[in-house]
Chains A and B, each alone.
Chain A
């Protein structure tokens, strides 16, 4: 049975997630949902399991407990074919870009198109080039291999690939880590622009306070093994928790905040 995606349903919802490695509990009773059309920033200390959470949400790691719903569907209950279809609605940018190193940038972007559609190859190529343009890469990068790209370009190319199928939900794992401030700013703008154009729901894992201030509609805080609060930034900053206070009260945060306000 084909999967009917109801675009008005809640894109992603996780309830009571329990993840553990052996006896080491990473997440316990974690509840989280993505509001439609919003960019949610996920913050948390190093080692609190942000990337693990992303992998769990993506189905790369089975949680030990709890359930995850996409557009109202429980991933567990879907058939393999339906899961395959659901995956076309989800785009992921991994930390290093995770481009296939034996393919050119254009071929990388064409991989999901080849896999999920039956368009003529020429049209796929053109669509790939359009995505390359949309993420702000120069046209000549289409025929380059990932090893010829800089870190920032790899991230852009990875983003272009994650957008290839016009997904509803986009997961970004540290998109601005390792970029210079100019590149990071440009990336923030890019994400805002794409959200505008493609009506995306975005989960953005980041340590970059500037990105949080400029890009995110809401901020989720992963602390004490669960999501403590998901709210607009001022409310999160006012949240009474030692770690949150330390995180947003530090000198870096204040600098980013004042820069964001001006």
Chain B
């Protein structure tokens, strides 16, 4: 690189007299030069047996801390005992550098990796974390309800401004994407139904299929998963960044309750947005089903489609779908906020928490949906 284009490579000479070795060096001893001689020098020094080192560095043209460190190798390597050293020829600056290098105390080497041990440890840690996480999440939900009920008793304490702003962000801005996705899903189900059922000559039953599946399951769960990916990650990142910049600490000191200021508005915004989004999703899915039934080669006219829909799909399917949305809303908002508040100082933890947050939210949404399905089935609804 720059400095060794015209400088001399590092050279050295070790001579021993009695228990003293003389380390005579010349050439350029800098960071860019010492790489090649590192190994050989160490080996040579290890082969020698001595008590003291004399440095003759008067002929060294360039010296930096890395070069000085190589000199100090002689003091370091010698079988761990305390050694005397002296710079017998050299400038003050060189002496200072060698002094600094000889004094340096090494830190612990990095932990060696033990494959089996580490993977076992990681597994253990992961399971422990899973339990602790679950307990913490449940505790967080409990705390949220306590604060929420307190605030409901005094509705003036609810920050409606931020609730409205967040509803715009979570609800209104997500409406196009939710409707588009539900449209596709509705169309796919309609095609699937049309194909399968036409083999029995019962293609008109696809109206039942689209109606029930979109209203009862697909629209709520697609919306919830989408919002989990979209808003939950935003909650974690926002709150996490606030935590990293000590804004959360500042709030606490100023007497603001983080639950009141950050968590409750987000949860309320989700509670408002999710049912509306789900409703839009349902309409969009049904509309897609109707289009496929009409134009997709089945010749079921919209009038027939809606007549059939009215006849076979009861209103309760709609309400079953809608009934799940507040639960999803609370889950998404609380997991996002909790993970955000759990961020610590490092950038890594922000990334890890955001990932955890989205994964947990989607997992929880699907798990809760399964529980609901089981519940409704057992109740015969």
> Within 8 Å of chain B (Cβ to Cβ): is A131?
yes
Majority SS of interface residues in chain A? Answer: helix
B39 at the interface (CB under 8 A from A): yes
Identify the stretch in B64-72, B281-289, B310-318 within 8 Å (CB) of chain A at 4 or more residues. B64-72
CB contacts (< 8 Å) of A134 on chain B: these are 65, 100, 104
Beta-carbon contact of A166 and B348 below 8 Å: no
Q: Is the CB of B96 within 8 A of A196?
A: yes
Contacts A2-B5, A133-B105 hold; do A119 and B69 have CB atoms under 8 A apart?
no
What 0/1 pattern do residues 105 to 130 of B give for CB contact below 8 A with A?
Answer: 11111110000000000000000000
The interface-forming segment of A21-29, A51-59, A122-130, A228-236 is A122-130
Q: Is A10 an interface residue (CB 8 A)?
A: no
Assess A130 versus B108: contact at CB under 8 Å? Given A3-B2, A102-B347, A147-B345.
Answer: no
| Other-chain residue from B30, B32, B108 in contact with A143 (beta carbon distance below 8 A) | B108
Q: Does B168 contact A (CB under 8 A)?
A: no
Would you call A146 an interface residue if the criterion is a C-beta within 8 Å of the partner chain's C-beta atoms?
yes
- A199 within 8 Å of B by Cβ? yes
CB neighbours (8 Å) of B104 from chain A are 129-130, 133-134
A197 within 8 A of B: yes
- Give the chain A neighbours of B189 by CB distance below 8 A: none
Asked if B103 is at the interface of the complex by the 8 Å CB criterion, the answer is yes
A31 CB–B CB distance under 8 Å? no
B31: interface (CB < 8 Å): yes
Question: CB-CB < 8 A to A131: which residues of B?
Answer: 65
Also in contact, A166 and B109, with CB within 8 A (given A145-B346, A199-B93): no
Report B-chain residues with C-beta under 8 Å of the C-beta of A143: 107-108, 110-111
Closest Cβ–Cβ distance, residue A64 to chain B (whole Å)? 30
The docked-state distance in angstroms from the alpha carbon of A130 to that of B31 is 13
Nearest chain A residue, comparing its CB with the CB of B97: A197
- CA of A108 to CA of B136 in the docked complex: distance in angstroms? 34
Is B5 touching A117 in the complex (CB atoms < 8 A)? no
A172 to B122, CA, bound (A): 41
A132 touches B107 (CB 8 A): yes
B107 CB contact (under 8 Å) in A123, A129, A146, A198 = A129
Q: Tell me, yes or no, whether B90 is within 8 Å of chain A by CB.
A: no
The answer, among A3, A132, A133, A166, for a CB contact under 8 Å with B103, is: A133
Q: Separation in Å of the B107 CB from the closest CB of chain A?
A: 3
Contacts of B65 in A (CB 8 A): 127, 130-131, 134, 163, 166, 197-198
* Least CB separation from B98: chain A residue: A197
Task: Report B333-349 residues with CB < 8 Å from chain A CB.
Answer: 344-348
Closest chain B residue, CB of each to CB of A104: B110
B345 and A196 contacting across the interface, CB-CB below 8 Å: no
Closest to B347 in A: A101
A140 contacts B97, C-beta separation under 8 Å:
no
List chain A residues, Cβ under 8 A from B11: none
Which of A4, A146, A163, A199 is within 8 Å of B5, CB to CB? A4
In the docked arrangement, what's the CA distance between A52 and B158, Å? Answer: 43
Inside 8 A of B107's CB, which chain A residues have their CB?
106, 129, 132, 139-143
B3 proximal to A (CB < 8 A): yes
B 53-83 to A, binary, CB cutoff 8 A, 1 in contact else 0? 0000000000011100100000000000000
Beyond A85-B1, A101-B348, A196-B96, 5 additional contacts (C-beta under 8 Å) are A4-B2, A113-B31, A127-B65, A130-B65, A140-B108
Question: What are 14 A-B interface contacts by the 8 Å CB criterion?
Answer: A4-B6, A85-B2, A106-B110, A117-B32, A125-B110, A127-B66, A129-B105, A133-B103, A139-B106, A143-B110, A146-B345, A197-B65, A197-B93, A198-B64
What are the 9 tightest A-B residue pairs by CB atom distance, in nearest-first order?
A142-B107, A147-B345, A166-B64, A133-B104, A139-B107, A101-B346, A130-B104, A197-B96, A102-B348
